[in-house]
A = this chain, B = another copy of it.
Amino acid sequence: MSSGTRDLLVEAAARLLDEGGVEGVTLREVGRMAGVSHNAPYKHFASKQALLAAIAARDLARERDAIAAQTTPATPPEQALRVVLRHYADWALHYPARFKLAFGAWQAASPELDQAAHEAQALLTGIVAAAQEAGALPAGDPVRLAALVRALAHGAADLASAGHLAPDGKGHAGPGDLIDDMLLYLRQAAASGGASTGLCDQDGGRAIQEVAQ
């Protein structure tokens, strides 16, 4: 429903984005693929940036739904966290241009974009909090810890997408490997310094004091 032309334009732009990056997205080519004139997009979007923002909003909403779909209430939180972070990295590697558009600086901010991104982050934070309660992650503000694990997945995916993750030859670590490493280290940190287990409290507490000065 609604005018199908708008969806056709977004679909055509997304395809051009995958093929030739953001520089390959041309309003003239978008119109040609959608079967309209080269400036028909201006009847549906205020500018080219607004069309790109529509792609980002669609992708962010899909990612949010994918997170929700991949994590049923029955899945252990540690496994759910790994699946979500790996999906984040996989999506970045498969659709680098759309990834950079969705998670880059939005030239044209829209409530749709903000809401979808916020909801996805809230879902991740919930998984992190559940993993904390299960003892798989260190205690502390789940919002802050969710930002940390997301930052690592984002950085590993972005560097790998640009070919800057493993300058050396074979046997290198991919984004998924780094995510696994981090989850292992966080689990060890939870066992060492966390209040949930109580093991090694004296040493973990000392390390916290030192770093916090």
Contact = CB atoms under 8 A, between A and B. Distances in A.
Main SS of the interface on chain A?
helix
Contacts of A155: 150-156, 158
Interface stretch (A27-35, A65-73, A175-183): A175-183
Interface in A155-213: 155-156, 158-159, 161-168, 173, 175, 177-178, 180-189, 191-193, 199-200, 203-204, 207-208, 211
Interface string A139-159: 000011101101111111011
A170 B104 CA distance: 22
A168 B143 contact: yes
Interface stretch (A1-9, A11-19, A113-121): A113-121
B182 A193 contact: no
Given A150-B159, A191-B200, 11 more contacts: A117-B164, A138-B188, A145-B181, A147-B165, A147-B173, A148-B173, A152-B182, A184-B211, A185-B186, A186-B189, A192-B192
